[in-house]
Amino acid sequence: MKLTRVLFLLILLLATAWLALSCGSSGRHLQSITLTQTTINNGEEAQFVATGTFSAPPTTITPLPVDWTTQLMAPPPPYYTYTLTTQPYVVNCTGTGPEALPVVAFAPPDPNAPASGTTKIVVTAAATPTCLTGGQSVR
């Protein structure tokens, strides 16, 4: 009788733990990033804003806190070091340069990640600036 009761309690405890862990692991996470470019200062600058799409409400966040860079991250590093900001990324279109460098935004998938740190996994988006005037330089 005591053995049956102990087994029942053990199974109940394991089921409760499994349920609690499975609910916690399916939490809200960043699924994708979209970059939107606008032209500012009479076409002398291109400004990028990041929008994040999440797995659960609120599903869309603009501006999304991201880290910005002007190079594709290939091959991917073993760890990403980031500092998140909601500030737009600005490209100066009045400089000289033969090719536009891609603008890359990246962020950890966890919406509760600290504002700066390191992580093994990030969500990224890249866009090439379209300037109305001659060359470009990154500011």
21-58, pLDDT tens digit by residue? 344 446 999 999 999 999 888 888 899 999 999 999 99
Q: What percent of the chain has pLDDT over 70?
A: 72
How far does the chain reach from its first CA to its final CA, in angstroms? 75
Residue 126 has pLDDT above 80, yes or no: yes
Structural domains in the chain (count): 1
Q: According to the model, what pLDDT value does residue 114 have? A: 97
Domain span including residue 124: 28-134
Amino acid at residue number 123: V
Rounded Cα gap, residues 108 and 131, in angstroms? 29
Tokens coding 97:
């340069």
In a domain, 46, yes or no: yes
Q: What percent of the chain has pLDDT over 90?
A: 55
C-alpha distance from residue 123 to each of 84, 100, 105, 130, 139 (Å): 13, 22, 8, 23, 23
